[in-house]
Amino acid sequence: MTTFEDATAVAKAGEGHYTAELSAGFSIGHALHGGYLMAVAQRAAVAGSPHAHPVANSWNFLRVPRPGPAEVRVERVKTGRTAAVSRATLVQDDQAVLEGMVTTGTLDPDAVASYSAKPPIIAPVEECRGDPAAESNAGRQIGLAHQMELRFDPATAEWAHGRPGDTLEMSGYFRLRDGSEPDSYVLAVAVDAFPPVVFALGSYGWAPTVELTWHMRAVPAPGWLTGHLSGRLVSDGWFDEEVELWDSTGRLVAQARQLARLAR
C-alpha cells in the first residue's frame, strides 16, 4: 500500500515550481480522487508559505489526470502576517488539470472555541456499516477504497442496501488505512471521501466535481473523523454537497461545499 505521505509528496524544482508523482493507489476507476489531487497541490502551496495551514481553499477541476509525473505551479498573490494567498495549478502534459486559490494561516492546536456548533449524533463506529465498495473488492489492494476506511451510520445508509430515501443526507466515519493521523492534507481527502450525497436518493455512479471550496477550521486530534453530508438542490443535471468534519474530540475541523454533475 502506498503511504499517504509518499503519495502526496512534492519536490521543489525551482521558484514556484514543484514536481509530483501521482499515485494510482488513489484512483476511482480511470480517475484520480479529487481530494487526493487537492492534497498534492496544497502541499506545494504551503511549502513556500510562512504559514502552516491551508485555511481556505477553492478548486476547479479542469481535466482528469492519470497516474504518473505531474507538476504544481505556485504563484504568490499576497503574503501577510496572518495570512498568505497563492494560486496553485496542477499540470500534466502541459495542461492544467486542477487550479485553485489557497489561503494559508497558522492555527493554534490548543485554541478553545468561544462558540461551536454541536457534532452530529450518530451510531458508534463499531455499529456502523463498512464501505460497500471496499467490501466488494476485498483483498485487492488497489484503488481509493483500500487507501481509506469509511463506516456509514445506519440511520443514513439505507441507500447502501438498495433502499434509497428522499433526504439528501449521509453521515459516517473516515480514516486512512496506513495509520496516518488527520492533518491539513488528510482533511483535503476527507472532505471529498464519502460517496456523493445523491447516493442517498438512489442516483448512483460517477458524479464529477466541478468546483469545491473547503475551510480548515482547527487542527484535528488523532483518531476517526466524523463526517456529515447534506445538500440543498438536485436539478438540471447538477447538485450541491455540503460536508462538515469533526475530530475525535468533537471539534469542528473542516467545512466544504462543492458543485457537481449528476451521474449519467
For residue 198, what is the domain's CATH number? Answer: 2.40.160.210
27 lies in the same domain as 56: yes
Task: Give phi and psi for 48, each to the nearest 5.
Answer: -100, 10
78 lies in the same domain as 26: yes
Q: Quote the DSSP letter at residue 9.
A: -
**C-beta of residue 101 within 8 angstroms of C-beta of residue 85:** yes
194 lies in the same domain as 242: yes
196 lies in the same domain as 94: no
Range of the domain at 264: 122-264
Per residue of the chain (264 residues), what is the pLDDT tens digit?
A: 678 999 999 999 999 999 999 999 999 888 899 999 999 999 999 998 999 999 999 999 999 999 999 999 999 999 999 999 999 999 999 999 999 999 999 999 999 999 999 999 999 999 998 876 555 544 444 578 889 999 999 999 999 888 989 999 999 999 999 999 999 999 999 999 999 999 999 999 889 999 999 999 999 999 999 999 999 999 999 999 999 999 999 999 999 999 999 977
128 lies in the same domain as 97: no
Distance from C-alpha of 119 to C-alpha of 252, rounded to nearest angstrom:
7
140 lies in the same domain as 62: no
116 domain-assigned: no
112 domain-assigned: no
The answer for residues whose C-beta is within 8 angstroms of residue 261's C-beta and 6 or more apart is 207, 208, 210, 237, 238
176 domain-assigned: yes
- For residue 145, the one-letter residue type is A
169 lies in the same domain as 50: no
226 lies in the same domain as 161: yes
Boundary-marking domain end, from 72, 106, 140: 106
Distance from C-alpha of 86 to C-alpha of 77, rounded to nearest angstrom:
5
**What confidence score (pLDDT) does residue 144 get?**
82
- As for how many domains the chain has, the answer is 2
Distance from C-alpha of 222 to C-alpha of 190, rounded to nearest angstrom:
14
> Between β-strands 53-61 and 209-216, what pairing exists: parallel, antiparallel or unpaired?
antiparallel
185 lies in the same domain as 138: yes
Helix (H, G, I), strand (E, B) or coil at 144: helix
Cell triple for residue 146? 483500500
∠ CA 42-45-49 to the nearest 5 degrees? Answer: 130
Question: The whole model's pTM is what?
Answer: 0.94
Residue with cell 476506511: 149
**What confidence score (pLDDT) does residue 132 get?**
62
